Amino acid sequence: MQGFEYAFLGGSLLLSVALLLVCLLFFSFRKGWASRPGRHVGVVETRHLGWIDMAGVGLIFAIYLGNWIDLGQIRSPEFATTGLLVSQLVLQLAFIGVVLGVLYHRVDLTLFWGLRPGRYWWVIGVTFTGFIVYSLILEGLWALGFEDWTARVFRRVADPVAAENEVLPVSIYLWGLVTVVAAPMTEEIVFRGYLYPVLKRMGGIWLAALTVSLFFAAAHLDGAYLLGRFLLSLILIAAYELTGSIWAPVGIHFLNNGFVFSGSFLE
């Protein structure tokens, strides 16, 4: 990773932390949890969240900030051994475990995440509409030359060594499992299913959406796609608020990752 990209991503992560502190200030000025209603805008409930969730948010932020310092990220299956991919899968499950541990015995997850939506057709419609909208936005950005611009700014070049390496089928399957299945489930539970409702109750829907989206984008540690992931997160949050079901953002995320994976690794 180039020094500029490292600094750029670090600055983005620190800005998301600053926005988190702004949420805390809003929370302080409004005199705590009791003064914040369980729902202000949209349908995502926040009424069961409390003081312990501040520790949960801090832990998640700390873990992702630690990833930025370490930068031990898998970039492509050419360098992804079976052990590394399995460790990524275990890490995804660990993130889910952190959230479930914090929420355990306090909320009914079926209701909290809308796991049984009353209108499945509405969830399905929002899912496909969200994916199409995001795809059209990306196509518009690429048509304007945004992809070429980011390639120049972040010095993206093809790696001839990686191109020559043979990718084992097991690595492709594991990479697909991690990218297309585990990542959408984990990231939606962590970012939209947990961080967003907590910050929404503390600072309101708009500040929460901005904070979570910037943190989500920067935490992927890829400067070239920071804007794209930021916009994706806003669409995922909108889908969650429109449906009240975590399945809508999971579905959009699944379709997006599946499309990218098939285009990148299964040609």
Amino acid identity, residue 140? G
The pLDDT score that the predictor gives to residue 226 is 94
Phi and psi, residue 29, nearest 5°: -65, -25
> From residue 147, how far is each of 79, 223, 252 by CA, in Å?
24, 12, 22
| pTM (two decimals) | 0.90
Residue-wise burial string across 215-230, b where 16 or more C-beta atoms lie within 10 A, e elsewhere = bbbbbbbbbbbbebbb
Query: Helix (H, G, I), strand (E, B), or coil: what is residue 267?
Result: coil
The pLDDT score that the predictor gives to residue 35 is 52
Amino acid identity, residue 190? V
Between helix 196-203 and helix 3-29 the angle, nearest 10°, is 50
Running along the chain, 267 residues long, what does each successive block of 10 average in pLDDT? 80 94 84 55 83 90 82 48 75 88 89 92 97 96 90 67 51 82 94 95 92 95 92 98 96 95 69
Among 22, 29, 23, 49, smallest CA distance to 38 is for 49
Q: How far apart are the first and last CA of the chain?
A: 26
The pLDDT score that the predictor gives to residue 175 is 82
> From residue 64, how far is each of 88, 135, 141, 191, 218 by CA, in Å?
14, 27, 28, 12, 9
Q: Which residues have C-beta within 8 Å of that of residue 206, sequence separation ≥ 6?
A: none
The pLDDT score that the predictor gives to residue 32 is 59
The pLDDT score that the predictor gives to residue 233 is 98
The pLDDT score that the predictor gives to residue 168 is 56
